[in-house]
Structure formats: structure tokens, C-alpha cells
Chain A
Amino acid sequence: MSTTAASTKPVDPSVKVVTDATCTFCGCVCDDIDISVKDNHIIEAKRACVMGKAWFLNHHADDRPSCLIEGKPASVAEGVERAARILTEARYPIIYGLSDTTSEAQRVAVHIGDLIAGTVDTTTSVCHGPSGMAFQSAGEVTCTLGEIANRGDLIIFWGGNPAENHPRHFTKYSLMPKGMFLPNGRKDRTAVAIDVRNTKTAKAMDLFFQVKPRSDFECLWTLRALAKGIDLDPAVVKKDTGIELARWQDLMARMKACKFGVILFGMGLTMTRGKHLNSEALLSLARDMNAFTRFVVKPMRGHGNVTGADNVVTWSTGYPFGVNMSRGYPRFNPGEYTTSDTLARNEADAAMIIASDPMANFSQPARERLASIPYIALDPKDTPTTRAATVAFTTATYGINTAGTVYRMDDVPIFLRPAFESPHPSDFDVLTAIKHRVMELTNQQ
């Protein structure tokens, strides 16, 4: 979509420099990376974190075939034909993944789901899906990351470990930056971690609450009670949460006294017993705090464009993930139309997996089902999912080889400046070809 632009003159004329490029590895979507490209290899990714560097430096033009059918090299056209037939001949086809591709490709994938009366689900369902459900019951008080940088003077990380998983979040957005109302950066902030593990994140904080495992719900409701001035029994609080009541009271006093409080939360809440109820308690706590001061909350999203997937699926169908269109119109029901369930219950009879790796990440019953049905996989990399696919497309990497749009974890849309051309087609191209063939096979426009 956009063209690459080199604003600084490289010393080596065979090295192309792309400035202000975007890293799509995690939900931080850092758009300040300067990448140097030589012979279709990225040799440097300035300002990228350790995972960003691994992302940029390990995506080169792979010499694998662009398409494999049952493990044998095939043309992309043959792959498209087979893919379209698999999807149109199935009774319960599912489309899954989508969090590591452009929103332009996501839009085509949702369209295919509509054409085949299929089910569309994204990696959100096994990430912050429960937070999405909590959003539907409580709402959410939130902001863009720049607001946190400019105003956030009390930062609470709950059930997440950004020091390992979103390495630049601290420096760019949440902990270190000197903002409009925080001229001294880190010194103007109080940082708190609440977690079951004493992680790298916890060690970078001013306060750490090492809570009892599986007690997030109780911890959050302790804080909600304290916010409302309700008396609690110290012995019960200690037993339920593993933390002295006095420490919770101290934290609540800080939360009420700050000017702009922020809670950033991870999958410690959503993947643990309680799931959406944990997230709902947290969203509610952040809302409650607005009676005293300004307070916001934000889920820390993992994949580069998982937020885009939520947005695209929502604007197309009205629902954020786990959408079934088998009756000709969209229906939503987590636990019923979500991929872990449609696979583990042996309901799905064909699948198209885009830019994700359920054969590595899903529960054993779900993986066994996926391995037993015909499915299509699109991925730049060789993964357990591409290896077991009926049709596997090797696609160009978004942000490195292709332009397009990604949505940062705070819903800010950012466009991509590709570094070099891939010999492989993009997800968008493959999906568009499949869409057209599906239209022909089903007599739809």
C-alpha cells in the first residue's frame, strides 16, 4: 500500500534503509524501527527489542515452495482450487487465526466465511477472549498508549509480564517516557505489579504483590470493596489473597490519590479459573475508580494484529470473535463457536488456518481433531500446523514483505512499510484467489 522510503543515505549502496518501519511481532506495534536490507535479508533492525530483532532478522525469502498439497509441491493455482473445494464441500467449515496478518487480508477471510456459511474465529478466543466477554458486560474505560505516556502516574501491571513479552512497552508507553504531565518520566510514576510469579516485570516495580495463585478474583473484589469503604476481615483477606489487608489498603490509598491510574493486564487473568469473571472484576474496578480520580484499563494484547482481527470481525459481523454464519447471518456464542470447542467437540469438518499455529498451541483433543480433517494453512513459516495441512501456502510476511494495516493493542491503526519483496504471495492475494473461486463454485457475487 505505501511505498518504502529511505530517508537516510546508506553507506553501502547495496543496503537499503527503511525508516519508521513497523514491527508486527507483538501488540506494541512499534513504528519507529529503521531496518537495513541487503540481498533480501534484513541485516539490522534499529530500536527493535530482542523479539523484534528475532522477527526481522529471521524472515528472509524462504526457498520453500509457495504451496504444498499433502506435503508435495504444487502451484498456487492448484492450491487455491483444492482449498476452495475443501471449504465449499464441508458441512461445518471453520476459519481461524488471523491475528498475524493485515486487516486487508482479515477482511477477505471474513468474507470467505460469509460465502461458505462458515464459522470465523480468531486467536482472541484463546487470548483475551474472556476480556472481550467481560467488555460486553461491564464496558471498558480505556485510552491510547500515548495517554499513558503523557499522563499515567500510577501504573499497575496485573497478571502479565511485559518485561519479557512486550519488551518496549516500558520504555515507549508505560513506565519510562517523559510525558506532557510527567516531565521526569519514571520518577513521576509509581509502578506496581500483581502476579503469582516474581517476574522480570515485578522486579522493575516500586511495589510487588505476589498473590496466591488463582486468587485474582478475590484480590480484585478486595480492592473493589476497599474503594467503596467496606470493612473487610484481615484474616479472610490474607487467607484468600495471600496478601495482608494493610497492603491492599495502602494500594487503594495510592489508587485514589493518583491523577491518572492505569491497569495493564495480561492473560494471568483470562487463562486462569474465573476467566471472564476475573476480567470483568478488573474492568469494573477501573470504572469504580473514576468516582475518585481518572483511571483506565487496557488488556495487553499479544499478536501484532490481533486487535485488528477483533475490529474487522466486529465491523463485518457485529461480534468480535467466535462468529457462526451457518444460518446465513452471524451468531455469537463463546464456548460454542470458538475454535477450541468446535475442534475438541469434533464438530468442525474442515478448516482454514491463517497465520497461527493451533497444532502447537491448542489442547490435545482439539489438535487431534484438526489433524484428522482436511485443512488449509497460510503461514510464512514452517510450523506444526503447516506440516499437517492438506494445503499449505507459504506466504509473504506482513510488515516485512507486504504493506497493509495493523491495529496496535490500543486500537490505533498503523500502516506497514515493507522492506523487500517476497517470492511468495501475500495472505491477501491467496485469500482473494480462494474467495473468487469459492464465489464461482457457489454461484455468489
Chain B
Amino acid sequence: MYDPLHGVDGQVRDIWIRDGRIVDAPSDPAVRPDKVLDAAGLVVMPGGVDMHCHIAGPKVNAARKMRPEEKRKAEHIMRTSKTRSGTMGSTPSTFATGYKYAGMGYTTAFDAATPPLAARHVHEELEDTPCIDKGFFVLMGNNHYIMRSIQRKEPERLKTFIAWLLGAAKGYAPKLVNPGGVEVWKQLPSGNVHGLDENVEHYDVTPRQIIEATARGANELKLPHPVHIHANNLGMPGNWATTLETMKTLGDTRGHLTHIQFHSYGGGVGDQDTFNSKVVELAEYVNTHPNLTIDVGQVLFGKTTSMTGDGPLGYYLSNIYHTKWFSADVEMEAGCGIAPIEYRDKSLVHSLQWAIGLEWYLLVKDPWRVAMSTDHPNGGSFLAYPQIIQLLMDRTFREEAIKQVHPAVRERSTLAELTREYTLYEICIITRSGPAKILGLANKGHLGPGADADITIYMPNDDKRVMFEMPRFVIKDGRVIVEQGEIREVTTGKLLHVAPGYDTSIETDIAEWFEKYYSVRFRNYPVSDDYLHDHEIIGCG
């Protein structure tokens, strides 16, 4: 059994489950369990937790609509007597998404970018995403009410609004995507911000102010996961300086920087020849600042779809790769960009992106503060996690892989010099215990009493990819839902959301704001309880 939260590192233990929860072993030795699952010789871990993926809502569904070409030749998800049919490709249909996560031993996943105006859509899709628990982050980095509150120097109003908006959307955490940049994109041709101190017209605020004010407000609300940041300048050479500034802007407040691989580049803008890794410098900062956590956003070679709330990024990518392009600006709140992408191991840039992701896993000393992600489907599918595990646990395999990619990786990153190999204990941390802790989920990511009985049991194998691709058993809420990769029982899973308290007198002002600028009525905006299937409110504080 591996339960890093309780320091359990491969010891043989019993786990007792009652009513979907892990409980203490009964003190009376006469008490016998109703059912026993013999896991002798197997590897037992908490269910996997994906803290950053794109699996539901308008952006994901637009990608599904836009990319029929991926699906015909992909694996067919056949209808069975228990499960729905579906399609794969880089953005699987909802039912397929749930089955595939569960089949891989993951029991919780969070969609990373929901415009609150579309929250109902996300709730509907999540209800149709079976087997896993789920939640979503609420886009706030370009929200006009937030920018106005900063402009007017009203931090209390800003904080109250964050609480109101999370409750209205029934979301989980504030998400900043290219703060300020998406609004500039809406205002100007090819518009964007390129640094933390550029001005966002109309509100006269800067990305730095948005990050600072939102992070402070969210931390004061004691949210379980205060702020989830997709920094400015994603993908641009030289963007590491912006990333470092973003970290510094947080000071000592808690903050999570997501898909940090995409934000760790040296080199000059528009100059591919100078493109290089700056993970050493950034990881050093993370290592010395315990308030910061990251997920990686690992790139894997092959075809996938880039999808983001970062509108200008979608335009940029579709222009450099000459692909089709979807963009959707959401009034008063957010943007969205989607473009097909193929990462090639012969490309210098793509090879470096791949290497930079791996450097992050290997250079952050405390595994509790680095979570596994591909930013599904941006860097690759979540189904690639076993492949990443193999790259981290098996140095020989990694060295072979480095030989296959662009040779410049050896000079422009430190990857080839890194000898670290992850242990199973550490893998357990970065795939479940760590993300659960970063998210503030007290009942996930561990196997102590009180935890949700979400448990994955693997067959040990020297080939870690094989081991992690097909768990022997997956248990969700105490029920065996997967055996040997096959779905045995379908559960709906529950929605995880927050409901922070706030001073309701703010609603008069928000209502006025809505009647002036939104195309829906204020009263029709908040998501009612009817949209919650099974759900759990995760408390603040």
C-alpha cells in the first residue's frame, strides 16, 4: 500500500471500507467484512486525481465538433450492455472520457477553464461523464467586474464578487487565463499583453494588478484551491521572465501555476534559434517558495488539439501551423481558442517542450508541489500519463527517448544530465496525493479513515507504462467499477464545488451591472441546485 499522506510506502496493510468511505479497522476482531478483495502482491494506491484537464463545456465540445477527422480511425468505443458508445480522438465524447479515466485508475478530474456564463453546459456534460468525481475552475482573469473593482480600488468588493461568482457557477476555484490579455484581444487586432505591466484599456488595469488582487481576495476567502494561474505569454520564447514575475507578484500568498512547461522558455521573441529551457532558474524559485505549486502540462509527440481560454493564443497557433481555428469571445468574461496541433520529435521547439516538461518533474525537489498533467489535450491526452510515469521512473528508457528527439535538447536543456528516478511513492504523490492536497480535497488522494474509498490496484510490472495503463482493480466509493481495464459498474460520480459565504448586499450592484452589459438576465445567471447531480460542497478555511 502506498499512502504518502500517512507516510505509508509500500507496506502491507488492510483497508476497511464502509458506505463508500475508508474507515478504521473494527476494534472487535469478531467483526468480519461482507466482502474481501485480496490484493496480496499488488500495488494499492488512492485513485488518481487530475487537477488540470479540459474535458467538458463549450470549448471542449467545439473541439469535438470541429475535428471529425480524428475519430473514424481512432479506437471505437463500443456500446456494451452497461456502457454507452462514444468516440475518441484528442477530445473524447463525455461517456468515453469517464470510462477512460476510470479504466486508467483515475477517479477525480477537474476541468480547467469554464466561462461562468456557460456553467450550466459544463454541469450537463459532467453529469454525462461517468465513473469519476469532477469539478471545474471558473475563468476570472478577464472578467470586467473584477477589472472594474481593481480600477476603483475596491478589494472588498472584488473578494465578495469572487465568492458570489464561484457560488453562482457552482465551480471550484478561480482561474486566471492570460489575465488582461484576453480583453486586449477583444479590443484590438491580434491584441494581447506581453508583460505584467502593460495597460488594459478601458479599465486601466495591468495583468500584475489582476493577479495580485485576485490572489489576495481568493486567499482571504480561504478557498480550498485559491487561485489557478495560466500566466501571460504562454508559448512565447523568452516568456520565463513573465512567469518569474508572476510568481514574485504572488509574494507569499498561495498560488498554483498551471501547465508551467509552456511558460518556461528562454530566447528572443520570434527567434527560434535562441529558444531554450529556463526550468533551472524557475524551479529554483519554486523550490524556495513553499506557497507555490505547479502542474507540468507535459508535451508528448503526436497529433492533438490545442484548446484554451487564451483567445489570442489560438489565433497565434493556427497561423503558425496553418490550421483551422475556432475562437469564441464570451461577453464580459472570457475568450477561447482552439486549433489542431501536432508535436513532432524532429522539431527543435517541440522536442524542447517535451524536455522542459520532464525537467520540471525532475527539478522540483518536493513532489507534493508538482502535479502530473498534460493539460489534456493541449500537450497530449491524459491517456499518456503511464508513458510519463515510465519516463520518470526509468532513466534508461528516458535516455533512449532523448536519443530519438532533436539533438539540440542536449545543449538547450539540462534533461540529459538529470539522473533522478521517481519511486512509486513519489509517483503516488504527483498523480494523486499531491494534486488532492493542492486542491484542498481532504477526502481524496489518501487511504486514511474518512477518505473517499477511491482506490486503484495495480499489477506490479518492471514496465511501468504497462503497469499504470491497466490497473487490476479500480474502486470508486467502495465499489469495484473496473477490473483489468473493463468497466464492471457505471456510477455517475459526484460534482465537487465550493459555496463560500459572502455579503449578499453586493447582488444589487451586480444585478445593475448585468442589466447594463449582459445579454442574459441577472436572475437567470446563477446555476440552480437542480443542475447538481450527486455533489459535495468542499468547505473553505
Contacts and interface: CB of A to CB of B under 8 A. Distances in A.
A114 B111 CA distance: 26
Interface string A429-445: 00000000000000111
A158 interface: no
A31 B81 contact: no
A391 to B, nearest CB: 25
Interface of B: 56, 58, 60-62, 64-69, 71-72, 76-79, 81-82, 84-87, 89, 92-96, 117-121, 124-125, 128, 144, 185-191, 202, 315, 318, 323-332, 338-339, 490, 517-521, 523-524, 528, 530-531
Given A329-B78, A445-B82, A315 B188 contact: no
20 contacts: A1-B528, A31-B520, A139-B338, A141-B327, A145-B519, A146-B332, A146-B519, A150-B332, A173-B519, A180-B517, A290-B315, A293-B189, A296-B327, A314-B93, A317-B86, A328-B85, A411-B58, A415-B530, A444-B81, A445-B81
Contacts of B66: 135-136, 139-140
Contacts of B329: 142-144, 147, 296
A297 B490 CA distance: 40
Contacts of B144: 180
Residue picked from B67, B187, B329, B517, most chain A C-beta under 10 Å? B329
A290 B519 contact: no
Contacts of B124: 103, 107, 312, 315, 405, 413
Contacts of A179: 517
A107 B84 CA distance: 12
Nearest to B326: A139
B65 A132 contact: yes
A403 B120 CA distance: 14
A329 B77 contact: yes
Given A136-B67, A316-B128, A318-B87, 17 more contacts: A2-B530, A136-B324, A146-B520, A149-B331, A150-B332, A172-B519, A179-B517, A259-B187, A290-B190, A294-B185, A317-B85, A318-B89, A328-B76, A328-B85, A412-B519, A415-B530, A444-B82
Nearest to A111: B84
Residue picked from A107, A150, A172, A327, most chain B C-beta under 10 Å? A150
A125 to B, nearest CB: 14
A46 to B, nearest CB: 13
Contact of A22 (B62, B94, B332, B524): B524
A318 B521 contact: no
A25 B118 CA distance: 21
A287 interface: yes
A140 B490 CA distance: 36
Interface of A: 1-2, 5, 19-20, 22, 31-32, 103, 107, 111, 114-115, 117, 132, 135-147, 149-151, 172-173, 179-181, 259-260, 287, 290-294, 296, 310-312, 314-320, 325, 327-332, 403, 405, 407, 411-415, 443-445
B143 to A, nearest CB: 13
A260 B186 CA distance: 8
B79 A331 contact: no
A329 B68 contact: no
Nearest to B324: A139
A226 to B, nearest CB: 17
A144 B64 contact: no
Residue picked from B58, B124, B144, most chain A C-beta under 10 Å? B124
Contacts of A19: 523
A413 B128 CA distance: 16
B147 to A, nearest CB: 12
B334 to A, nearest CB: 10
A318 B519 CA distance: 29
Given A139-B326, A145-B519, A328-B85, A291 B189 contact: yes
Given A135-B65, A145-B519, A318 B328 contact: no
Nearest to A296: B329
A311 B121 contact: yes
A107 B492 CA distance: 15
Chain A interface, DSSP helix/strand/loop, else mixed? mixed
Contacts of B128: 107, 315-316
A325 B325 contact: no
A318 B71 contact: yes
Nearest to B144: A180
Given A318-B87, A407-B121, A117 B79 contact: yes
A136 B85 CA distance: 22
A138 B324 contact: yes
A329 B76 contact: yes
A261 to B, nearest CB: 11
Contact of A151 (B93, B94, B186, B521): B186
A196 B517 CA distance: 34
B201 to A, nearest CB: 10
A351 B519 CA distance: 38
Contacts of B339: 139
A320 B65 contact: yes
A137 B81 contact: no
A143 B87 contact: no
A315 B327 contact: no
Contact of B79 (A2, A312, A325): A325
Contacts of B79: 114-115, 117, 325, 328-329
Contacts of A146: 331-332, 517-520
A143 B331 contact: yes
Given A2-B528, A290-B315, A413-B121, A140 B85 contact: no
Contacts of A407: 121
Contacts of B77: 329
Contacts of B530: 1-2, 403, 415
A319 B524 contact: no
Residue picked from B61, B338, B339, B490, most chain A C-beta under 10 Å? B61
A400 B65 CA distance: 31
A414 B520 contact: yes
List the 5 closest A-B pairs by CB distance, nearest first.
A146-B331, A318-B87, A146-B519, A1-B530, A139-B324
A272 B85 CA distance: 35
Contacts of A415: 120, 524, 528, 530
B64 A318 contact: yes
Nearest to A298: B328
B486 to A, nearest CB: 14
A142 B519 contact: no
B117 A412 contact: yes
A169 to B, nearest CB: 11
B376 to A, nearest CB: 16
A404 B339 CA distance: 32
A149 B128 CA distance: 33
A405 B120 contact: yes
A444 B79 CA distance: 10
Contacts of A143: 328-331
Contact of A149 (B120, B187, B519, B524): B519
Contact of A315 (B61, B85, B120): B61
Contact of B188 (A107, A294, A310, A329): A294
A114 B327 contact: no
A136 B117 contact: no
A54 B95 CA distance: 39
A435 to B, nearest CB: 12
Contacts of A312: 124
A418 to B, nearest CB: 12
Given A287-B325, A403-B530, A331 B72 contact: yes
Contacts of B330: 143-144, 147
A137 B326 CA distance: 11
B58 A315 contact: no
B521 A32 contact: yes
Contacts of B315: 290
Contact of B65 (A136, A172, A294, A445): A136
A233 to B, nearest CB: 29
Nearest to A103: B124
B118 A411 contact: yes
Given A1-B530, A135-B65, A296-B329, A316 B93 contact: yes
